[in-house]
Amino acid sequence: MIELHGALSRVVCLGCGARFERAAVHDRLLRDNPGWLDRVVPIAPDGDSELDAADLAQFRVVDCEACGAPLKPDVVFFGGSVPSEVVSSAYALVDDAKALLVVGSSLAVYSGFRFVLRAVNRGLPVALVNVGSTRADRFALQARIEDRAGTVLPRLVESLSKRNGG
């Protein structure tokens, strides 16, 4: 399995590259900003909230515990590049695979879609699990499941476990 665009469960330092569990950074934020979660602010439809300047001025951002540099979620943002070592690992996995399963991606950007093309060029079956259409729907001749990953994957694991006698 490759988390091509990273994972929100981790945070990465922009200075030294150290990675931390997001939950630990969250705990540090709460410790350094007591009462922050007690504030009641309306949440906009996109999940954002408007905060006044006084509240923001009081907020303390935590930095990397190793070097003091800023932290960010360990994900590739739009306009960013997937690290070359991740791309190489993903290509190697596709080249050694018997099938490709894409979970939770519209494949709208080439950074993920290229692996589907590689699988198709190698004659591998492609299966998709996603809510909504994907750029690779025309290649998912074996399976195209329109559902949430959190619903499908546990059922898949259970089915495979039964098939393998586990």
Task: Please report the pLDDT score of residue 43 as a whole number.
Answer: 86
The residues annotated with a catalytic role in the active site are 5
The neighbour count for residue 139, using CB atoms within 10 Å, is 22
Task: Please report the pLDDT score of residue 166 as a whole number.
Answer: 66
Q: What predicted TM-score, i.e. pTM, was given to this entire model?
A: 0.71
Quick: pLDDT tens for 9-56: 999 999 999 999 999 999 999 999 998 888 888 888 878 888 889 888
Amino acid at 26: H
- Domains of the chain, each with CATH number or no CATH: 6-75 (3.30.1600), 84-163 (3.40.50.1220)
Mean pLDDT of successive 10-residue stretches along the chain, which has 166 residues: 89 97 96 89 83 87 96 91 93 96 91 95 96 94 90 91 82
Rounded CA separation 136/119 (Å):
11
